[in-house]
Every structure is written in structure tokens, then in C-alpha cells.
Amino acid sequence: MSRTRADLLASYRSYLALQRDLSQHTVRAYLVDISDLLSFLGVGEGDAEPVDPALSTLDLADLRDWLAAMAASGHSRATLARRSASVRTFSSWAFEAGVLSSDVAARLRAPRVDNRLPGVLTTQQASQLLKTAADLASDGEVLAVRDLAIIETLYATGVRVSELVGLDVTDLDHSQRTLRVLGKGRKERTVPYGLPAAKALEAWLRRRGEICAVDAAGGALFLGARGRRIDPRAVRDVVHRLCAAAQVPDLGPHGLRHSAATHVLGGGADLRSVQELLGHSSLATTQRYTHVSAERLRSVYEQAFPRA
């Protein structure tokens, strides 16, 4: 069978989206990775050029050369690790699909990932951010009311942006103050939220119809300015804008997720609870993702160590 690069990527896209049930964002990232690999190898550069002859000779050394070239150009170890995982997924699929004669990437080892912790807001900075959002919403402008609900929900629950934009109104349980969240791998979890977030969400729901009188958004909890389900870029814009207004570090939505987890852990929660809150499948991920504040570490040390 003779396949062009476009044919190959289209087949791989279908596999990722339909059989692996990955998000559009993840599918797009995987396709970019494989396109980059093919370009590095000089495979399928012409529209009608078949990729099969070149891929039939692909070996582990080629893949290591690709990673080495990226490392030399300054890519982070985290990026290299992600791309290693991406090409292993492709190699496994391509072997099963008859594109490769063997699973050449099965023994490709990911580089060690840098375990430096991401940035986190202090509790004072988080409070300032939420106060700024509340002050802006007090003017009554409907999008400012929505933005307050978004920022409160991100911080109160630690949900990912992809999870936030996928929320429907029916995912809210007002009486229990919980959210039903569909996370990575379509795993469902229930996440609690506090009274400030509850008030912000209720205020937004009272005004939501002003943007979407006829619900063309399919019951989406958060809407964009044109009445459709909000997209991840718009959520990031909300966070960037409010961080600038509050004059706090702009760590983006992921920074709010990390801040929420850190503050919950610093308040006494155990790692297993934080793992459940964040929707991590592995506790090791949570251990890397969260850290105990210096203040809490000092407090625990003074209580536990006889010579403190």
C-alpha cells in the first residue's frame, strides 16, 4: 500500500480520536510531533510522495537522533519526554496498522524530566485576585460576572481548563456544592467547591440567559461573548486579564490549579485527597505537582522534632 504523509496522518488522527478517545488538543499535539519527526527524516515532503519506503527502514537510532537534535536546539527535558511518549504511541499504532515492520520505538527511553516545581500564588495573592474579580463584577457587567465565576471555579476546584470548558449546567449540584467533572481518559470525578464559588456561580447563572437567550450552547455552563460554549483560549484570556488587573503573577489557569492544590495541602489535606481533587491517576504525579509550604513545613517540624 502506498500512503502519502497526509494519508498517514489522517489515519493516525482517526485512531487517536476514535479509538483512543483523546481530546482535540492532545490529538493535535500528537500530530504535530509526528509531522516534526517526518520532516526531520525527510519523509513525505511532496504532496504525492509515498511514506512507506522511507518508514520501512526507520529504526531506533533515527528516533534517538531526532530527540538529540531537539535537545541540542534547547528544548526542555519535559518536552523531550512528552515527544518520546508521543512517538511510542505512533510506533505502536503504525506497527499494528502495517505501516512499520516492527514497533521501533518500544525501547525508546524518555529523558529524565526536570522536577522543578511550577510557580504558585501565595494565599494573599490568590485573595487579591479574587477580590479584584469581585470588584469588577460588582459593576454588573454580565461578562465580568461570568469572569468572577470562572476564576472562583478554577481556584476553588483546581480543574483543568479543558475540564472547565466542558462543564454543563447540569454538572452543578447546588445543594451539595459539587461539580461533576469529566477528566483525562473520560474519567468522571466529583469535586467540591466552597461558598464564595457557589455565590459567584449562582450570580452567573442568573445572568447567563442575557448572553444565550435561546440555548444554542447545548447547556454549557460557561459561555463566550457570542453565546456559545467558551473555549480554552478565552478562559486563558480571562485569567491573564484579571491577574494583570490584580497585579499578581500571571501564572495562567494551570498556575491557579497548582495554587489550589498547594493551598489545600498546606491546609492539612493528605496527598491522596489532593490526588482525587486533581484527577491524577498516579500519586507520583501529585507528589511532583504539589509541595508543602515553608510555613507548614516549619510548623510540622516544630511539633514533631524534639530539638526544634
Provide the annotated active-site residues. 160, 184, 254, 257, 280, 289
Residue 185 DSSP label: G
Q: Which domain holds residue 275?
A: 123-304
Assess if residue 117 is contained within a domain. no
CA 305 to chain CA centroid, Å, is: 39
Is residue 244 within 8 A of residue 125, CB to CB? The reply is no
Please report whether residue 219 resides in a domain. Answer: yes
| Grid coordinates of 244 | 494583570
Boundary-marking domain end, from 46, 62, 97: 97
Residue 72 lies in a domain: yes
Nearest to 147 by CA among 162, 122, 164: 164
In a domain, 108, yes or no: no
Residue with cell 480543574: 159
* Measured distance CA(66)–CA(46) in Å, rounded: 21
Nearest Cα to Cα of residue 278 among 292, 251, 260: 260
Q: How many domains does the chain have?
A: 2
Looking up residue 32, the CATH number of its domain turns out to be 1.10.150.130
Q: 217 and 146 in one domain?
A: yes
Walk along the chain (308 residues) and give the pLDDT tens digit of each residue: 678 889 999 999 999 999 998 888 899 999 999 998 988 777 766 667 788 877 888 888 889 878 887 876 677 888 888 899 999 999 999 999 998 999 999 999 866 655 555 678 989 999 999 999 999 999 999 999 999 999 999 999 999 888 898 899 999 999 999 999 987 767 889 999 999 999 999 999 999 988 876 555 578 999 998 888 888 878 988 999 999 999 999 888 888 988 898 888 878 787 788 888 888 777 776 776 555 554 555 565 666 665 64
Q: Around Cβ 265, how many Cβ atoms within 10 Å?
A: 21
Assess whether 92 and 138 both reside in one domain: no
- Per DSSP, the three-state class of 222 is coil
Return all residues near 76 (Cβ < 8 A) that are at least 6 apart: 114
The verdict on 130 and 91 lying in the same domain is no
Among 97, 113, 133, where does a domain finish?
97
pTM for the model stands at 0.63
